[in-house]
Chains A and B, each alone.
Chain A
Amino acid sequence: MAEILLDVRGLTHRYAMTSSRSVTALDGVSFQIRHGEIFGLVGQSGSGKSTAARCIMNLLRPTGGDLHYKGVDLLDPKQRRENRRMLQTTRQLIFQDSASSLNPRMTLADIITEPMVINSVKPPRGSMRAEAEFQAAKVGLSPSCLDRRPPELSGGQRQRAAIARALCMEPELLIADEPVASLDVSVQAQILNLFRHFQTEHGFSLLFIAHDLSAVHWLCDRVGVLFHGLLVESAPTTELFENPLHPCTRALLSSVPLPDPRRERQRRLERFDTDTLPAAETLREVSPEHFVLKED
């Protein structure tokens, strides 16, 4: 079994709304990502998926828990400073909305090579331009796009550019926060294929955050289910889809639409009420690698 790349333990985050009120976005979430594995994080909107991604990228300061990446404590400023360069180059984030995560006033060529400029990496292919062309070709962007600015391009093309930007530093951990949610079906397929292709080629680990379970089923090795900031179940993909144990997971699975009228019309939604969630629960391993939140 490959060694653990990212270790998340008891991650908790609260957003302060006013001085007295706060909203718990993450409540003691624990999971591990191994080298070369695709880990899917699923859940409804508002279940804390993006918050987790931002905590891991150090964009948000978690209120509690431990985060270790390649043995570096991500919550310790000193260790972070010592490993700054390693953290910047080997962890990359892809946002959901490519329209807002790419600077509308930069050309695609500049966007793709920005991480190299920041980390003053000498371009292995001679010039930055050549590097941009190489990376663009890898994600299937024609060179004519490189002088365009993001608003002139389609959503699929922008998301390709975002992927090219993340991949040009050859990361070891790629975090993709709902990378296909705002794309059309056929473009979604293109982007999912790209992820799969690059993952096998480069062997990086991928944290794939999505609410579309069919994409997660197709792409991921292991899946964790978030519900209202709690990680209720995590298991290898086939195991989770065939044998869901937690009612939250079952409810989530029952909501997946099927492109098949007869089966789709027979599909019944399983209701799950927040109130029935017991107060004190711990994550237990019920079968190898299959963890479920259970009452104490």
Chain B
Amino acid sequence: MLGILRSMSVTAKVMLTRKPVTIQYPEVHREIPNRDRAFPILIWDEEKDEPFCTGCHACERACPVECMTVVMKDNPKHAAGESKRRKIIDEFWIDYGRCMRCNICVEVCNFEAIGMNNTWAGHELSRYDRSQLVFDLDQLLSQSKAGKVDPGLRA
């Protein structure tokens, strides 16, 4: 008897004294920590106006799920003398449908060219078709180009 009264008193007490913990999600976003790892994106070099990525394939090799495809090319800006990077990324695809967000690509990158997206945009990726989850170079760079991202974790 005392036990069931205790149960009832807990629920009554919670109803009267405590505030709901609900966050009204689509309008209100939970604050996410700076280290949050959503999905990998490429970082834009503002100074040189080109991606940091040289297409060295380090991340592609380290990826456990093989979700990345990297194609390298000669940097035209290097030929013009505007950049020190001899090689630069030509094509880059990441299949977010396969990516398991392990952060290993960031750890192995020697140029800090890839980072984990730590904004809400990195989480809200609902798509109608899986093929839309394969992001190409422009999409991967757009966040950084717009200056919206400040990767928290660098290895």
Report whether chain A binds chain B.
no
User: Chain A residues in contact with chain B, CB under 8 A?
Assistant: none
